[in-house]
Amino acid sequence: MLFAAVLLAPPSHGGLGLDRPGALELRPEGLRRLRDQISVAEDSASCPACATWSWLEVIGTNSGWSHGSVRALGHGRDEEGPAHRHLRPDPSPDWHLCLGLLPAIDRWGWIDSYRSMHPASLSAVISAIALLLDGLEPAYAPVPAAAAMPVSPRRQMTREEEERILKRADELTARVEAILREFDAGR
């Protein structure tokens, strides 16, 4: 929703000022040209450039990885580095391979890499943004520390583990190739 807001918001409010068709038809090469026109806010939580970076992480991960990997992005914590995400290198270069930057999302939250969001869905996002902007600012109640959702730590793979996995994959590939050669020879 924030990325859609960045695309549609006028430049005076930090966005690109695209119309609905322009936002729905925006391709990676277009965003590469326009990206430096997206404003930066002092607070990283309300920074349009950071919202763009975060969305590119989601669609790039969706392009090259599993649905579980995309879902894990929502539960992960920011890595150490600059407070502003847009100052970091692009999170997943696979976003450059996406057909569109506002893909369709089904009712379960899965991203469809082959279709753009429907114009009516974009209108619903715009209406939701307008309601958020026009409504009263929410009053947040403090959450007790015990009620906070625990975040499971990410296991880091060592170089040795990665080499063992790759060696095992090479062995399996060689076995499959041998089986296929044997099958072809028996024909």
Q: Could you state, in order of their start, the residue ranges of all structural domains in the chain?
A: 2-134, 158-187
**Shortest CA distance to 94 belongs to which of 57, 52, 48, 55?**
57
Ranges 30-44, 81-95, 161-175: which has the least confidence: 81-95
Residue 137 is predicted with a pLDDT of 56
Mean pLDDT of 131-158: 62
Contact 70, 113 (CB under 8 A): no
pLDDT in tens, 33-49: 998 899 888 887 888 98
DSSP single-letter state for residue 186: T
Q: What's the pTM? A: 0.60
Structure tokens at 110: 């899965």
Amino acid in position 91: P
Contact 103, 112 (CB under 8 A): yes
% of the chain at pLDDT higher than 70: 75
